[in-house]
Chains A and B, each alone.
Chain A
Amino acid sequence: MAEIVLEHITKRFPDGSLAVDDFNLDIRDGEFVILVGPSGCGKSTTLNMIAGLEDITSGELRIGGQVVNTKTPKDRDIAMVFQSYALYPHMTVRENMGFALKLAKTPQNVINEKVEEAARILDLTQHLDRRPANLSGGQRQRVAMGRAIVRDPAAFLMDEPLSNLDAKLRVQMRTEVSRIQRRLGTTTVYVTHDQTEAMTLGDRVAVMRTGILQQAGTPKELYDRPVNLFVAGFIGSPAMNFLSGTLEDGRLRTALGDFQLSDRLRREVEGSGSGRDVIVGLRPENFEDAALVSAENRPAGITFRTSIDVLESLGSDVFVYFTRGQEQGVSAVELEELARDSGRADTGGSGDTIVARLNASTRIREGQEAELWVNGRAMHIFDPASGRNLSLAGDDDGPVSAPGAAAQDEHAATEADGSVDVQALPGQDGPAGEVT
């Protein structure tokens, strides 16, 4: 058990490329921290530096209060789970799990005891004498976990441990990892490129891009208050919709309609020096079938008519896809990178298709014209040049000033008339769609 402190950690490879740039993060004792980002963002390099498998170019790394920059992995008391599991193929499961203890010259009876205890936790007891080649993917993954557990180390480091499993098993193991971490209370740093994994597992999530830490916070914080365009686009599934917007006379003109901005936000946007053009971010769940929005809530947003291109009903929710003719597409370096990396066609700048997540009771049909409502208060406004989220600074009543609605308590409204409350839609509180 230990805290891990990264101070101004920088990694420059011999060829001069900067992999990690001035990374600062305090990981508290027992905390489960996720490093997430697209491939090549430096998250694995950061993890390898914590493990001692990569040298730290500059900065200070402390594990349990001790500076470990120059210590070898064996002196850092950390255990690591690799993406490929890296099980020793010539050893049985028992030998694999006990290898670290054997190297540490632990008495054989203690090793046996610990290995059997770990096997019990991981449900591997009947496989102890088999070799990795004879195990299924999920079992191998558990052995890799077991190898870390028996060590009882200061910290677990996990490098995309679930990415080689099939989708169903991944969801299952995700719960398992979470359960084990909670049970053992060991500080854990977990690297993934999957934002769903990041959101569901972590106490805190650190989003990285091109070697730079973008934002670290609880999943809820990242979801509700992304500091920039990249974090906003990366976190959430389906991803946030991005539209170009123009400020005119205190109003924000977008392809969906005009939003009335609060004075504070207008000052913020105008003061940012980014000109009149901004990028507007709206999450799919900020939309609703206008017919299902109560009269009290309507002023908080705007309604618009559009024809629905595609409608996907998941039973619990309905996703609708539609396009709005935009004068110019949204363009920002960060969005392009997001789209390129994730391969998700619906990620922001890749096109002008907008995804909306509606209540399952909607009567909207595919191919028909429909009236949708979008919650202006949940809107994020980004500076297209720097990507900074302009709507964050000291916001307490949201970016849109809508008299009446702004002051009203959303949940009270739902209880009062039983109508659908946008803020209380399923998924609004849960950060990601795929919750298990």
Chain B
Amino acid sequence: MAAISTTPRQKLGWGAANVFVIALALIPVLWMISLSFKTPTAITASSCSKQSGFFQCFFPAQWTWGNYSQILKTATFVRPLLNSIGIGLIATFISVALASMAAYAIARLRFPGKQVLIGMALLIAMFPIIALVTPMFTIERALGLFNTWPGLIIPYVAFGLPLGIYTLSAFFREIPWELEKAAKVDGATPFQAFIRVIAPLAAPGMVTTAILVFLASWNEFLLAISLTSTISARTAPASLAYLSGSSQFTVPTGPIAAAAVVITIPIIIFVLFFQRRIVAGLTSGAVKG
């Protein structure tokens, strides 16, 4: 589109705008990475006064792994990191499994109350979580789910489902219905048709949904901090609030930055790894060219 009429001047203008936007988005991230490699003294020292240059201030004068080794040695961070991985994966798996079946039914079947069901799902997705924190806290205390893995997995699944149902029903609608008919005629039961023909074709959709649900539960902070009390169920983002400095009165800026970098890495790997699968449409060749 841009190729229609772009003068070098326009190109330059757009390039500058792009660089500006990217810089705006990346500077906090880079700042965080930079902080995570600084020594505690460098962070607290007033080296970033008006006289010092930008680079002098931005890059650590002295690179150190100290912040990383510190947080990776304390159970305060390592255990929540494991919790995050476990809770995220389990919630994702359950969400995707349930959402695929629900989305398949919504895409394929006509049943009374279908619109109501879709509306309810949308409602749940839109509900402000903060309004639910107090009732959920009480309920989970009563059920003995407070400060346990299931105590977080269940709400994460509940909030992941609407998202999953929406994404997946769009994918299922794209799959030619005739494939299912063909499978039925070939002797498949409805469940076999779903598992062996429909689900593999909806795999890109499932991966997309899985990524979205995983990201949501990985990044979730409000419930994680409200429904946990110890590191036995606390997730990584919540644990950042509990990191302590060398003394009670020091803000642990370096370790927090290092922890933030650590919890960002899995997300980047996750997305890079699955990106190709999301983009590649698997359904090509099912029906006529």
Partners in one complex: yes
Report the bound CA distance from A73 to B201 in whole Å: 22
Enumerate chain A residues within 8 angstroms of B286, measured Cβ to Cβ: 84, 86-89, 132
Q: Is the CB of B189 within 8 A of A74?
A: yes
**Is B266 in contact with chain A by the CB < 8 A criterion?**
no
When chains A and B are docked, how far (Å) is the Cα of A132 from the Cα of B286? 7
Q: Which of A122-150 contact B (CB under 8 A)?
A: 131-135, 137, 140, 147
> Which of chain B's residues 182-219 have a Cβ closer than 8 Å to chain A?
182-189, 192, 196-197, 200-201
Closest CB in chain A relative to B36 CB, distance in Å: 43
* Bound CA–CA A393/B187 (angstroms): 47
> In the complex, what distance in Å separates the CA atom of A132 from the CA atom of B178?
15
Verify B288–A137 contact, CB threshold 8 A.
yes
Is the pair B181, A86 in contact by a Cβ cutoff of 8 Å? yes
**Residues 127-186 (chain B) with a chain A CB within 8 angstroms:** 176, 178-179, 181-186
**CB nearest neighbor in A for B199:** A90
- The answer to whether B289 touches A84, judged by C-beta atoms less than 8 angstroms apart, is no
Alpha-carbon gap, A87 to B286, bound state (A): 5
B282 proximal to A (CB < 8 A) = yes
- Report the Cα distance A42→B2, complex, angstroms: 50
* Number of residues of chain B lying within 8 A (CB) of chain A: 25
Q: How far is the CB of A173 from chain B (nearest CB, A)?
A: 13
- Residue contact B185 to A53, C-beta cutoff 8 Å: yes
- The 0/1 profile, CB within 8 Å of A marked 1, for residues 263-289 of chain B is 000000000000000000011111111
B97-126 contacts to A, CB under 8 A, are: none
Which residues of chain B are near A157, meaning CB under 8 Å? 185
Contact B289 A137 (CB under 8 A): yes
What's the Cα separation between A23 and B282 when bound, in Å?
A: 41
* Alpha-carbon distance A134/B200, docked complex (angstroms): 18
Beta-carbon contact of B185 and A89 below 8 Å: no
Q: Taking the nearest CB of chain A, how far is it from the CB of B174, in angstroms?
A: 12
Q: Report if A61 contacts B (CB, 8 A).
A: no
Q: Which residues on A sit within 8 Å (CB–CB) of B284?
A: 89, 133
- Is B184 a contact of A84 with CB atoms below 8 Å? no
Mark out the residues of chain A between 62 and 82 whose CB falls within 8 Å of any chain B CB in the assembled complex: 72-74, 78-80, 82
Does B179 lie within 8 Å of A73, measured CB to CB?
A: no
Residue of A nearest to B178 (CB): A86
* Complex: A83 Cα to B179 Cα, angstroms: 11
Q: Is there an interface contact between B178 and A82, defined as CB atoms closer than 8 Å? A: yes
Beta-carbon nearest neighbor of A14 in chain B: B110
Closest Cβ of chain B to A399, distance in Å, is 46
The answer on a CB contact under 8 Å between A85 and B288 is: yes
Q: Is the CB of A86 within 8 A of B201?
A: no
Q: Please measure, in the bound complex, the distance between the C-alpha atom of A53 and the C-alpha atom of B179, giving whole angstroms.
A: 12
- Find out whether the CB atom of B179 lies under 8 angstroms from the CB atom of A164: no
Instruction: Please tell me if the beta carbons of B192 and A140 are within 8 angstroms of each other in the complex.
Output: no
| B288 and A164 contact, CB distance less than 8 A | yes
Q: Is A354 an interface residue (CB 8 A)?
A: no
A85 with B184, Cβ < 8 A, contacts A74-B189, A90-B200, A103-B192 known: no
Please determine whether B288 and A100 come into contact, CB atoms closer than 8 angstroms. no
Nearest B residue (CB) for A103:
B187
| Minimum distance in angstroms from A192 CB to a CB of chain B | 16
> Quick one: which of A84-113 are within 8 Å of B by CB?
84-90, 99-100, 103-104
Asked if B289 and A132 make an inter-chain contact with CB atoms under 8 angstroms apart, the answer reads: no
Which residues of A in the span 162-208 have a Cβ within 8 Å of any Cβ on B? 164
User: Is A89 touching B285 in the complex (CB atoms < 8 A)?
Assistant: yes
B272 to chain A, nearest CB (A): 24
Q: What chain B residues lie within 8 Å of A131 (beta carbons)? A: 285
Q: A103 to nearest B CB, angstroms?
A: 5
Instruction: Give A29 to B196 CA distance when docked, in angstroms.
Output: 33
A-B contact pairs, 30 of them (CB 8 A): A51-B181, A51-B185, A52-B184, A52-B185, A73-B187, A74-B184, A74-B186, A74-B187, A79-B185, A80-B182, A80-B185, A82-B178, A82-B181, A84-B286, A87-B285, A88-B286, A89-B283, A89-B284, A89-B286, A90-B201, A90-B282, A99-B186, A103-B187, A103-B192, A104-B187, A132-B285, A134-B285, A140-B285, A147-B182, A164-B288
Give the 10 A-B CB pairs with smallest separation, nearest first: A133-B285, A100-B186, A84-B287, A86-B182, A86-B178, A74-B187, A132-B285, A89-B286, A164-B288, A80-B185
Residues of chain A at the chain B interface (Cβ within 8 Å): 51-53, 72-74, 78-80, 82-90, 99-100, 103-104, 131-135, 137, 140, 147, 151, 157, 164
Query: Which residues on B are within 8 Å of A, measured CB to CB?
Result: 176, 178-179, 181-189, 192, 196-197, 200-201, 282-289
